[in-house]
Structure 1
Amino acid sequence: MTDALDPEIHDNAEAKRYELKVGNEVAVVTYNLSEPNLMITETLVPIPLEGQGLASRLAKHVIADARARKLLILPVCPFFSAYFQKHPEHADVVHPTYRQILGLQ
């Protein structure tokens, strides 16, 4: 399955986070990169932006970016762990150890 990169989401490599600005607020996914591994550490959506699907939108972008860059995701972030369990079709980008932990094929 191939997802397109979201043009509104920016990889701020210096800050080690993907950013999605909505108005004056910014939803983020923080990470640590040690190629070929991309450890997703946290997903933060400001309270005024909750319930709009922004975390899922960020997750889809991060997954597409990791796939394009041939990175393996280590989903330490609880949101990402749950996202992969709900969407096992993306298991190919999850590090094998985490696939086993999350019960993904």
Structure 2
Amino acid sequence: MKEEHHEKGGRWYVEEDGKTIAEMTYINSGATRFIIDHTEVDESLRGQGVGYKMVGKAVERAREHKLKILPLCPFAKSVFDKKTEYADVLF
């Protein structure tokens, strides 16, 4: 899994043959939080936990940088609802 981070936000993603086949994007929202706004996983990766892994990477980043996450993406929100161990980074 690759990641890109820049001033306005970033993404975690999986590429195959130069094509993005899974992606979760976020937007920075102030100095202390970011918003997960979109997650998409190609059918070829469904059922492999790739979406959960991307959310896990976001949680790692939030913990490392002492940030909070607002999961506006329905998929990310559902993961946070299921994974109570991520509650420490929820906004």
Q: In the TM superposition, what is the alpha-carbon distance from 1:61 to its structure 2 partner?
A: 0.8
Q: Residue in 1 aligned with 2:28?
A: 33
State the SS of the aligned residue for 1:30: strand
Structure with higher strand content: 2
Runs (4+) of structure 1 moved beyond 2 Å?
11-16, 20-26
Match in the other structure for 1:92: 88
Determine the C-alpha separation between the residues in 1 that align with 2:82 and 2:32.
24
- Could you tell me which residue of structure 2 aligns to residue 45 of structure 1? 41
- Between the aligned partners of 2:76 and 2:85, the Cα distance in structure 1 is 14
Alignment: residue pair count = 88
- Quote the Cα distance in structure 2 between the aligned partners of 1:77 and 1:12: 18
How many angstroms apart in 2 are the aligned matches of 1:15 and 1:80? 16
For the residues of structure 2 that align with 1:91 and 1:59, how far apart are their CA atoms?
13
Quote the residue 1:55 is aligned against. 51
Q: Is the 8 A contact 2:13 2:20 kept in 1?
A: no
Task: Name stretches of at least 5 consecutive residues in structure 1 with no aligned partner.
Answer: 1-7, 96-105
> SS of the counterpart of 2:47?
coil
What SS does the corresponding residue of 1:16 show, helix, strand or coil? Answer: strand
Q: TM-score, normalised by structure 2?
A: 0.83
Q: d(CA) in 2 for partners of 1:64 and 1:75?
A: 15
Percent of residue pairs bearing the same amino acid type: 32
Structure 2: runs of 5 or more not aligned: none
| TM-align CA RMSD | 1.9
SS in 1 for 2:38: strand
Is residue 82 of structure 1 aligned with residue 62 of structure 2? no
Give TM-score scaled by structure 1 length: 0.73
